[in-house]
A and B are shown apart, each in its own frame.
Chain A
Amino acid sequence: MANKIPRVPVREQEPKVRAANFEEVCYGYNEEEALLEASRCLNCKNPRCVAACPVNIRIPDFIHQVLEGNFAEAAAVISQDSSLPSVCGRVCPQESQCEGSCVLGVKGEPVAIGKLERFVGDWKIENADRMPAPRIERNGRKVAVIGSGPSGLACASDLARMGYEVKIFEALHKVGGVLVYGIPEFRLPKDKIVAREVEAVKRLGVEIETDVIVGRTITIDELMNEEGYEAIFIGSGAGLPRFMGIPGENLNGVLSANEFLTRTNLMKAYDEEYDTPIYVGKRVVVVGGGNVAMDAVRTAKRLGAEATIVYRRSEKELPARAEEVHHAKEEGIEFRMLTNPISIIGDERGWVTGIRCIEMELGEPDASGRRSPVEKAGSEFEIPCDVVIMALGTSPNPLLKMTTSGLETNRKGCLVADEHGATTREGIFAGGDAVTGAATVILAMGAGRKAARAIDEYLKNK
């Protein structure tokens, strides 16, 4: 049963144009395109895509509803398993999840599941006002959620639907966690998508208080003993940046991807109306190969710099989403693969002038199954640049562990939690990057929802 319709291409901003602005790269499907793409789904009896989705969204079912033109129904199917379809449709690594296991992909191109999910999510946002507000019976029991990223938002909205009085405490001045400080506007629009997802959570009755750094402004114990919260969900993410520990890393002009992206995304330094400064110089080198590295390098390009990725493995091992790598290349980003920094060089005033690297070759596979890179002796060389951005991953903030007795973390500083999200202390649950270390939006969202069920279970039996 061959499928004759080719995958419906998605409209995008011209690479040359978009490399100089912060507007969203991808326009997404319109109704006509979505219907056509939906018609490609074979509606398999044993849908491999569902098994490959971290939260097992009933993909053929929602696509079938799209094909029938029942967009509200399609949204309802997705929302059984995911609360952030507009976001996940944009940022999930579909090629290694749902689309990567689509039968059509064996011989041709898989169904554009991500783009269809995005279409449904955006439709839901656009039409949210027309949908009746859910009638929820309140049970008067209070649950606090720490962090307003994907796991916190998902956990809070599920708990609110179950009738709990939920309050989210956010450390920053803006709600959304990594969705607002990390992922750039050109990949995930803040006003059009993130702010409206947050609005939807508030409509369920969830309260959000910003500027509260739990562990400093108030402790978990105070929340439980003085403010009457019967259970806590920790979704504080993995916010601490890593550096390489090579010489020259504290020169002026070396910064973490977190700093660079926070300045542009959260503080909107790219907009001259905003006060926060940013410095890119003429040439920027970004070290790393993940999504954050792609976000940083493409942001640098948009701010007017020549921008280069330096990554120690080969292109095949790049952990970033395939679409981001493709977009980055289209935008003129230079990729230096099998290259590892050994030191950063500066002038007599202490400002970066270049990065010294060594060529690598791939050796035996390591624990992660990827072939580990080894240095090629005598291959050192220098890339001149003004700014070096380190995108080497992040780890969880130790603040909550430090200020809460009985809360255990593992060797990597991640909170210890069981499969339902229960931590080592009664009444405290956790999920997302704070537990797994830096991972994906969909896993965090899924963990938040699981924890909501576990919290409900716990409070019912308390």
Chain B
Amino acid sequence: MYTILEKRTLAENIYLMRVHAPRVARAAKPGQFVIVRIDEVGERIPLTISDYDAAEGSVTIVTQAIGASTRKLCAMEQGESLADFAGPLGHPSEFVGEDLEALRSKRFLFVAGGVGTAPVYPQVKWLKEHGVKADVIIGAKTKSMLIYTEEMSRVAENLYIATDDGSEGFKGMVTALIKELIDNRGKQYDVCVAIGPMIMMKFVTLTTREYSLPTIVSLNTLMVDGTGMCGACRVTVGGKTVFTCVDGPEFDGFEVDFDEAMRRQGMYRTQEERARAIAEERRNGHKCRVGLDK
């Protein structure tokens, strides 16, 4: 069992959990993910690691309550335990294995969107610890939905905020801010890393392509086991089918077929809605009679 050491609300429906998982904490590297199972009847939920502390034996995950299972996870409280917490899975970010000297000469731009901001943090933190500078853009719909701004400002060289409504920082999408930085503020970058909703990553790559700025994305596809067994996470990269769990989760954003990836993400949406309806019915104490459970 994996005890929740701390739970915090970061924004509406977005929660941080620091979980006791010593083996995962010791092995985790930036870019990797874990599979979480809440209880005996729970799904295996893939979540990108948002921080880790080997000394404390803890791993941090940040979850947005969207589907039936993420809602259930977000309803868990400090002191309670998760049935399973397996990982770290997938390859670490490419820079982890690169020559530090070469790395220090590179100018990194991270583009973080929504709940995807959390997994950007351990990457920028790792770079900072190894003497590599990185600028970070955090995007959100509105000020109250921004997360990780304080933590990020401690590790980022420059932190830029973009909100759709202009309630904080730059008014507009992250893609417009990328253009603004490069076109008008004289910024130059060698690598871009974008993590956020699939649609955001797609448009970031369309923008960075204009500048021939190599862009890495982290895909949050469907998964069951997360170890290469099921193939639910397959995605087309450079015209080839690969598995996000074992070949990724980070890929060359210019090569990813985002439209297919977004479509495949919706494979079980109707089932998820159904599961949520059944769960709500059960909470109300009666069995479903309108055939939702059929």
A residues with CB within 8 A of B: 171-173, 181, 210-213, 216-218, 239-241, 243, 245, 249-250, 252-253, 255-256, 258-259, 262-263, 266-268, 272-279, 349-350, 397, 399
| B232 cross-chain contacts in A, Cβ below 8 A | 255, 259
| CA gap between A399 and B84 in the complex, in Å | 21
Least CB distance, A219 to chain B, in whole angstroms: 9
Would B86 and A173 count as touching, CB distance under 8 A? Answer: yes
Q: Flag whether B42 is at the interface (Cβ < 8 A).
A: yes
Q: Could you jot down 9 A-B contacts, CB within 8 Å?
A: A211-B84, A243-B231, A250-B264, A258-B231, A259-B231, A262-B224, A275-B72, A277-B43, A279-B271
Closest to B236 in A: A250
| CB-based closest 4 A-B pairs | A277-B271, A259-B230, A211-B86, A239-B229
Given contacts A171-B86, A216-B87, A243-B241, 14 further A-B contacts (CB under 8 A): A171-B227, A173-B86, A217-B24, A217-B27, A239-B229, A241-B230, A250-B234, A252-B266, A275-B42, A277-B271, A278-B271, A279-B268, A350-B260, A399-B228
> In the complex, which residue of chain B has the Cβ closest to the Cβ of A174?
B84
Bound Cα distance A245, B232 (Å): 15
Contact A239 B23 (CB under 8 A): no
**Bound Cα distance from A213 to B32, whole angstroms:** 13
Inter-chain contacts of B96 with A (CB < 8 A): none
* A contact residues around B43 at 8 Å (CB): 267, 275-277
- On chain B, the residues within 8 Å of A275 by CB distance are 41-43, 68-69, 72, 275
Do residues B278 and A272 form an inter-chain contact, with CB atoms below 8 A?
A: yes
CB < 8 Å A-B pair total: 118
Given contacts A210-B84, A263-B224, A397-B227, contact A216 B263 (CB under 8 A): no
Question: Does B181 count as interface, using CB distance less than 8 angstroms?
Answer: no
Q: Is the CB of A350 within 8 A of B263?
A: yes
Q: Are B229 and A241 in contact (CB under 8 A)?
A: yes
Give the Cβ gap from A127 to chain B, nearest Cβ, in Å. 28
**Residue pair A249, B271 in contact (C-beta under 8 Å):** no
Tell me the bound Cα distance from A256 to B222 in angstroms: 14
What residue of chain A has the Cβ atom nearest to residue B2's Cβ?
A211
- Whether the Cβ atoms of A172 and B225 lie closer than 8 Å is yes
Contacts of A255 in B (CB 8 A): 230-232
Whether B268 and A277, one on each chain, are in contact in the complex, defined by CB atoms closer than 8 angstroms, is yes
A255, B230: Cα distance in complex, Å? 8
> A380 → chain B, closest Cβ, in Å?
24
Return chain B residues, CB-CB under 8 Å to A259. Answer: 224, 229-232
Q: Mark B23-63, 1 if CB is under 8 A from A, else 0.
A: 11001000010000100011110000000000000000000
Name the residue on A nearest B276 (C-beta).
A275
From A268, which residue of chain B is reached at the shortest CB distance?
B41
A172 vs B43: C-alpha distance when bound (angstroms): 12
Say yes or no: A218-B263 contact (C-beta < 8 A), given A173-B84, A211-B84, A259-B231. Answer: no
* Cβ-defined contact, A262 with B225, below 8 A: yes
Residues of A near B228 (CB, < 8 A) are 239-240, 397, 399
Is B113 part of the binding interface, using a Cβ–Cβ cutoff of 8 Å? Answer: no
B66 adjacent to chain A (CB < 8 Å) = no
A212's nearest neighbour on chain B, judged by CB, is B23
Contact of A272 among B44, B68, B260, B293 (CB under 8 A): B293
Contact between B275 and A258 (Cβ–Cβ < 8 Å)?
A: no
Find A250's partner among B89, B224, B241, B246 (CB 8 Å cutoff): B241
Residues of chain B within 8 A (CB-CB) of A272 are: 278, 293
CB distance from A278 to the nearest CB of B (A): 7
Closest Cβ–Cβ distance, residue B54 to chain A (whole Å) = 13
B224 touches A217 (CB 8 A): no
Q: Which B residues are in CB contact (< 8 Å) with A263?
A: 224, 230
CB–CB A256/B230 < 8 A: yes
Question: Residues of A contacting B271 with CB < 8 Å?
Answer: 277-279
When distances are taken between beta carbons in the complex, the residues of chain A under 8 Å from B24 are 217
B85 proximity list for chain A (CB < 8 A): 211
Q: How far is the CA of A266 from the CA of B241 in the complex (A)?
A: 25
Is B88 an interface residue when CB atoms closer than 8 A count as contact? yes
Instruction: Find A213's partner among B42, B89, B230 (CB 8 Å cutoff).
Output: B89
* Interchain CA distance A243-B236 in the complex, whole Å: 13
**Distance (Å) between the CB of B233 and the closest chain A CB?**
10
- Judged by a CB distance under 8 angstroms, whether B191 is at the interface is no
**Residues in chain B near residue A267, CB distance under 8 A:** 43-44, 224
Q: How far is A120 from B72 in the complex, measured between Cα atoms in Å?
A: 44
- CB contacts (< 8 Å) of A266 on chain B: these are 225
Contact of A218 with B27 at beta-carbon distance under 8 Å, contacts A211-B86, A262-B224 already known = yes
Interface string of B72-114 (1 = CB under 8 A from A): 1000000000011111110000000000000000000000000
Distance (whole angstroms) from the CB of A270 to the closest CB of chain B: 12
Residues of B within 8 A of A210 (CB): 84
Q: Indicate if B272 sits at the interface (CB-CB under 8 A).
A: yes
Min distance, Cβ B202 to any Cβ of chain A, angstroms: 16
Write out the residue numbers on chain B whose beta carbons fall within 8 Å of the beta carbon of A171: 86, 225, 227
What A residues does B266 contact at CB under 8 A?
252
Residues of A within 8 A of B264 (CB): 250, 252
B267 contacts A by Cβ under 8 Å: yes
A250-B264, A276-B224 given; A181·B229 CB < 8 A: yes
A243–B232 Cα distance when bound, in Å, is: 12
Cβ–Cβ < 8 Å partners of B268 in chain A: 277, 279
Q: Which residue of B lies closest to A170 (CB)?
A: B86
Q: By the criterion CB–CB under 8 Å, are B83 and A217 in contact? A: no
Does B41 contact A173, Cβ atoms closer than 8 Å? Answer: no
Is A216 within 8 A of B27, CB to CB?
yes
Q: Is the CB of B260 within 8 A of A249?
A: no
Report the bound CA distance from A229 to B203 in whole Å: 50
| Residues of B with C-beta under 8 A to A173 | 37, 44, 83-84, 86
| Minimum distance in angstroms from A142 CB to a CB of chain B | 17
Interface flags for B216-246 (1: CB within 8 Å of A; 0: not) read 0000000011011111101110000100001
Shortest CB–CB separation between residue B236 and chain A, in angstroms? 6
- B88: chain A residues at CB < 8 Å are 216-217
Q: Are A252 and B267 closer than 8 Å at their CB atoms?
A: yes
B230 touches A262 (CB 8 A): yes
Question: Chain B: which residue is nearest A173 at the CB level?
Answer: B84
In the assembled complex, the CB of A447 is this many whole angstroms from the nearest CB of chain B, namely 21
Choose among A217, A241, A279, A397 the residue with the greatest number of B CB atoms under 10 Å from its CB.
A217
Distance between A84 CB and nearest chain B CB, rounded to angstroms: 22
Report whether A213 and B41 are in contact in the complex, using a CB–CB cutoff of 8 Å: no
Contacts of A276 in B (CB 8 A): 43-44, 224
Q: Which of B224, B229, B235, B236 has the most CB of A within 10 A?
A: B229
CA of A360 to CA of B82 in the docked complex: distance in angstroms?
51
Q: Which A-chain residue is minimally distant from B267 (CB atoms)?
A: A252
Closest residue on chain B to residue A276 by CB atoms: B43
Residue of A218, A245, A277, A349 ringed by the most chain B CB atoms within 10 A:
A277
B residues near A245, Cβ cutoff 8 Å: 241
A255 to B267, alpha carbons, bound, how many Å?
Answer: 11
Min CB gap B117→A, angstroms: 25
